A = this chain, B = another copy of it.
Amino acid sequence: MTRKELIDQIKIKKSFLCVGLDSDITKIPKHLLDLEDPIFEFNKQIIDATHDLCVAYKPNSAFYESLGAKGWESLSKTEKYIPENIFKIIDAKRGDIGNTSKLYARAFYEQMNFDSITVSPYMGIDSVTPFLEYEGKWAILLALTSNVGAMDFQLIQTVKDNKKIFEKVLSISKKWGNDENMMYVVGATQAEMLKNIRDIVPSHFLLIPGVGAQGGNLQDVAKFGLNKDCGLLVNASRSIIYASSGMDFAEKARQEALNMQKEMAGILEKSAVL
């Protein structure tokens, strides 16, 4: 999916919501467990209930890998089931030497047909560029994550220009691609930091996890992160997909997604995006 197509979808749906399909076999409603592929069935019903409210889905590969080859099948079926006009992110946090990253690209861009993959920046340029060589596909680099461990290395101050490591990741890596094939992960728990981040990458899309269950605030994220093309994909996983553990899980997921979409529509209508 191209940048323009993504922005068009955001304008049409008045939403920059990404639904995280962190579908855990130990957490999905019990009545699904007798089905042949409970995880796919769960995802299918979540997608059916929310696809008009969000512009992206983001399965996290760990949840599928934890089920072995069967989980990999569920992931592949889920990717195929996501409607064409929705941006498909595989949250896999991959990254390896150039020749090996190429194979990860093959896995998620050819074997499956995701639009984008999250990538860990630690191994540098050749671990990232193989994901940029596909027309209309994207690498989404971890910059500042929303977990407690983000403190350990991402915030370390560097010598030359007194920048933090995550700022070096932004300023160095943005030269490897452009705002049509790269995005960045920036945790919502650090919303005030979005201001500095926008100074470094004014036009790139940012994928923002941590709104909802992890405690981030949508208004703050928009205040500091929105740009003229929106430039944000805000992810919510658990708060939507586990809104209920009963028969009504999809309906409740829709309600949660709708609440977020309405708030987003309000934000977009007050902005220059629409």
Contact = CB atoms under 8 A, between A and B. Distances in A.
Contact of A124 (B69, B147, B168): B147
A90 to B, nearest CB: 11
A145 B62 contact: no
B165 A156 contact: yes
B60 A96 contact: yes
Interface string A69-98: 110110010000000000000010111111
A261 interface: no
A172 B153 CA distance: 9
Contacts of A149: 97-98, 123-128
B76 A69 contact: yes
Determine how many copies of this chain the complex contains.
2
A97 B146 contact: yes
Interface in A220-242: none
A152 interface: yes
A247 interface: no
Interface residues of A, number: 62
Interface in A132-157: 142, 145-154, 156-157
B142 A123 contact: yes
A12 interface: no
Nearest to A101: B62
A94 B96 contact: no
Contacts of A128: 149
Given A69-B72, A126-B147, A157-B160, 10 more contacts: A62-B107, A66-B107, A68-B112, A69-B76, A93-B94, A120-B122, A122-B145, A124-B148, A124-B152, A156-B165
A69 to B, nearest CB: 4
A103 B62 CA distance: 6
A73 B65 contact: no
Contact of A111 (B66, B153, B154): B66
A76 to B, nearest CB: 7
A120 B95 contact: yes
Given A111-B68, A120-B120, A153 B169 contact: yes
Contacts of A145: 97, 122-123
A127 B73 CA distance: 25
Nearest to A142: B122
A72 B65 CA distance: 9
A67 interface: yes
Given A122-B121, A165-B156, A66 B98 contact: no
